[in-house]
A and B are shown apart, each in its own frame.
Chain A
């Protein structure tokens, strides 16, 4: 008998049967939170980007491929507007474009939106950019604040691309602090920065702004660089605008902490703070949680993040931890947990003691999640607002421990083998006897 050729056929048949069974099982057990894996529906809101261009006096300098910085920026803007995807809404704001005087107070209010955020009229936008002449001061902080306002508040991520060649000449407000505040309030806001032939001060400032909002910093030293990078950043706005977590404020104790359904959340947590959340988990379910804490300000080089899951009485269930040192954007940790056998028993005990009205509710375990960080601030680092925390919570069907049979040991196996042997021996013996009998008759 050729078992080798037979097995795949059996396998296929069996597995399809098992699959059918599982399918029926899942449909019978009711709606599982499978919706957790649904992709975020394409946002009804279009992606919105605001380009913020510095038109201060220093943009006159001719040090990029022998051309002036402003003409390089103008050319890049023209190409970006031409290549703009139709659904992307683009706005352009300038700073230091109109005030010619020497009064710093006046000059530091000099920022205008020359193209409002919305569907772009390409010709009009290009014409507006082409007429810009380098003039005044560099109020970066104010321009960022206004740009965030231009983009409005909505449910999707916003992007600001800041192009400048000089450091802010109008602090306070410190543009880096402004960026951090903007990122902490309202919707997700990312500021990407582009330095035109930057010196050390500009680089430090732009790096700080980018880090504060989870954006990027690029040094543009040629027209080609600038155009390519601008196009890439505008494209990114289109790719990322729909993925926005919802805001939640964790409590300082498990009692009264927000109850979370599966999904992505953001919160803020400052140094040595603990943030608590609660997640309801049914006995046949598994909790999955991950957390990322972003380093949006200068901190000491060694750091860590700890995510713990505890029962409602404070008993620790499981922990996820990660630590590191050096340059990074986020530090992440994650954990999985599902109710074990003794937890089931305990839940049943609680159920027995609880009032009959609460019986159905106590079948659901409420797991507390606590996020803590091991960042330490450098001298002069602000503690407020806290660092961005991204929390992902998922509740899925639990994966039971596989238990294979005791092959090679155990009385059950011996009994099975003996029975199978006996049965086959009997059948073969009977067949032989019958065959011998018929042969003799013939």
Chain B
């Protein structure tokens, strides 16, 4: 159906003699930037100076071969992010080059790509190279000892990992788009990360002594504290199960009444 409309449009445009249109019509299936978003024209050069980018916000930046380009984005629980980049290479290169997009979480731990050409190689003849990476679904909680993807900041590093030395420094153009799928809704039983993995940005401070823990005054006017402690959360399995019990009883009584009805009449 879609194909048919497309070819119909194509035919119509060709008939109308529009030379440019077919390319734009055919280029539809790739992830598209969200409408109304402004293009980012910068890239950072380290984890600390990574340029923040929102999902769906296109990035277009000029750079030189061999540079390490950093962007950061924020991920919420339940989301899956896909990173797509196209590098327009300089002409007159000395040989083939291998490009890579690497993703790190807020703790700078390397993240695995589940799909996509993460480290494609471009021959000396081609003019562009496409790089892609689909990340794992972000979990709402994970044990501190695990390496599961968690909500927070993620870093994208794009660079050339293998290149003839004489090609270093040549100008390139990078197009990058981060798209997110999946919703942020998660069940409370899956746990919750109290603080997202957002690294501190301020300069550190060396302490002179181990700070003492502040005196804990748990006594006193904290009754609503306790309430949140033992009342089950909305939508929890306890509530569902209790409701199931109630419905079961109602259904039982109803069935019982059905069998009894002719006798009472």
Query: What residues make up the interface of A, taking CB atoms closer than 8 Å to B?
Result: 3, 7, 10-11, 13-15, 17-18, 20-22, 24-25, 28-31, 35-40, 155, 190, 195, 198, 200, 203-204, 206-207, 214-219, 225, 228-229, 232, 235-236, 239-240, 243-246, 248, 258-265, 280, 282, 286, 288-292, 318, 320, 322, 326-330, 332-338, 360-361, 363-364, 366, 390-394, 396-402, 404-405, 407, 413, 416-425, 428-429, 432
Establish whether residues B225 and A28, one from each chain, have CB atoms under 8 Å apart when the complex forms.
Answer: yes
Bound-state Cα–Cα, A14 to B236, Å:
11
Taking a contact as CB atoms closer than 8 A, the residue among A36, A289, A361, A392 that contacts B210 in the complex is A361
Cross-chain contact of B42 among A204, A239, A338, A390 (Cβ < 8 A):
A239
Answer whether residue B19 sits at the interface, using C-beta atoms and an 8 A cutoff. no
Closest Cβ of chain B to A232, distance in Å, is 7
Contact indicator B214/A30 (Cβ below 8 Å): yes
Sample of 26 A–B contacts (CB below 8 Å): A13-B234, A28-B217, A36-B202, A200-B165, A219-B64, A219-B168, A240-B45, A246-B203, A261-B206, A261-B207, A263-B202, A288-B197, A290-B108, A327-B159, A329-B46, A330-B46, A334-B105, A334-B106, A338-B144, A392-B108, A394-B200, A401-B143, A402-B188, A421-B246, A421-B249, A424-B245
Q: A416 and B202: CB pair below 8 A?
A: no
* Selected contact of A416 from candidates B205, B235, B242, CB within 8 Å: B242
Residue contact A217 to B169, C-beta cutoff 8 Å: yes
- Contact between chains at A198 and B234 (CB < 8 Å): no
* B201/A40 in contact, CB under 8 A: yes
Q: Please tell me if B182 contacts chain A, counting CB pairs below 8 Å.
A: no
- Tell me if A228 and B46 are in contact (CB < 8 A): no
Q: CB < 8 Å: which of A18, A290, A320, A401 contacts B199?
A: A290
B214 to chain A, nearest CB (A): 5
Q: A22-B228, A262-B204, A327-B160 are in contact. Are A428 and B107 (CB under 8 A)?
A: no
Shortest beta-carbon distance from B99 to chain A in Å: 11
The one of A37, A229, A424 that contacts B200, using a Cβ cutoff of 8 Å? A37
Complex partner residue of A232 from B49, B62, B68, B243, CB under 8 angstroms: B62
Q: Does B211 contact A (CB under 8 A)?
A: yes
Assuming the contacts A258-B206, A416-B245, asked whether A396 and B195 have C-beta atoms less than 8 A apart, the reply is yes
Chain B residues near A11 (CB-CB < 8 A): 234-235
In the bound complex, do residue A390 and residue B191 qualify as a contact, i.e. CB atoms below 8 Å apart?
no
The answer to whether residues A261 and B204 also contact, given A15-B234, A327-B160, A390-B48 and a CB cut-off of 8 A, is yes
**In the complex, what residues of A have CB within 8 A of residue B66's CB?**
207, 216-217, 327
- Are B200 and A36 touching (Cβ within 8 A)? yes
- State whether A402 and B241 are in contact (beta carbons under 8 Å apart), knowing that A219-B64, A239-B44, A261-B204 are contacts in the complex: no
**CB–CB B47/A292 < 8 A:** yes
- In the complex, what distance in Å separates the CA atom of A349 from the CA atom of B93? 67
Please provide the 5 A-B residue pairs with the shortest distance between their CB atoms, ordered closest to farther. Answer: A263-B204, A334-B107, A14-B234, A402-B191, A420-B245
With both beta carbons as reference points, the residue of chain B lying nearest to A324 in the complex is identified as B110
Chain B interface bracket (under 10, 10 to 19, 20 to 34, 35 or more): 35 or more
A203 and B245 contact, Cβ closer than 8 Å, known pairs A360-B212, A364-B213, A402-B191: no
Given A11-B234, A21-B228, A217-B64, verify A396-B194 contact (CB < 8 Å).
yes
Question: Is B6 located at the chain interface by the 8 A CB criterion?
Answer: no
Interface-central residue, B45, B107, B141, B252, by most chain A CB under 10 Å? B107
Q: Is B73 an interface residue when CB atoms closer than 8 A count as contact?
A: no
Asked if B243 and A3 make an inter-chain contact with CB atoms under 8 angstroms apart, the answer reads yes
Residue contact A18 to B144, C-beta cutoff 8 Å: no
CB-CB under 8 A from B241, the residues of chain A are 405, 407, 413, 416-417
Within 8 A of A (CB), among B146-165: 159-163, 165
Q: Which residues of B have CB within 8 Å of A198?
A: 169
Are the CB atoms of A334 and B108 closer together than 8 Å? Answer: yes
Give, as a whole number of angstroms, the nearest-CB distance from A70 to chain B: 20
Q: Which of the residues A219, A228, A261, A405 comes within 8 Å of B62, measured between beta carbons?
A: A228
B202 lies within 8 A of A366 (CB): no
Most chain A CB atoms below 10 A, which of B104, B190, B194, B202: B202
Q: Is B116 close to A, CB under 8 A?
A: no
User: Is the Cβ of A259 less than 8 Å from the Cβ of B169?
Assistant: no
Q: B257: which of A200, A203, A396, A432 is its contact (CB, 8 Å)?
A: A432
A27 to B255 CA separation, bound complex (whole angstroms):
52
A332 to B103, CA, bound (A): 11
- Give the contacts of B42-80 with A (CB-CB under 8 A): 42, 44-49, 51, 62, 64, 66-68
CA distance A155 to B207 in the complex (A): 19
Residues of chain B with a CB closer than 8 A to A423's CB: 249
Among candidates A28, A35, A243, residue contacting B49 with C-beta atoms closer than 8 Å: A243
User: Per a CB cutoff under 8 Å, which of A244, A318, A397, A419 touches B144?
Assistant: A318
Could you say which of A7, A204, A264, A405 contacts B235, with CB atoms under 8 Å apart?
A7
Q: Given A245-B48, A401-B143, decide whether A392 and B200 contact each other with a Cβ distance below 8 A.
A: yes
Q: Which of B105, B171, B206, B214 contacts A259 (CB 8 A)?
A: B206
A262 proximity list for chain B (CB < 8 A) = 200, 204
Closest approach, in angstroms, between the C-beta of B166 and any C-beta of chain A?
7
Are A393 and B204 neighbours in the complex by a CB distance under 8 Å?
Answer: yes
Q: From known contacts A21-B227, A322-B110, infer whether A398 and B201 are also in contact, taking CB-CB under 8 Å.
A: no
Residue in A327, A338, A405 whose CB lies within 8 Å of B162:
A327
Q: Is the CB of A239 within 8 A of B233?
A: no
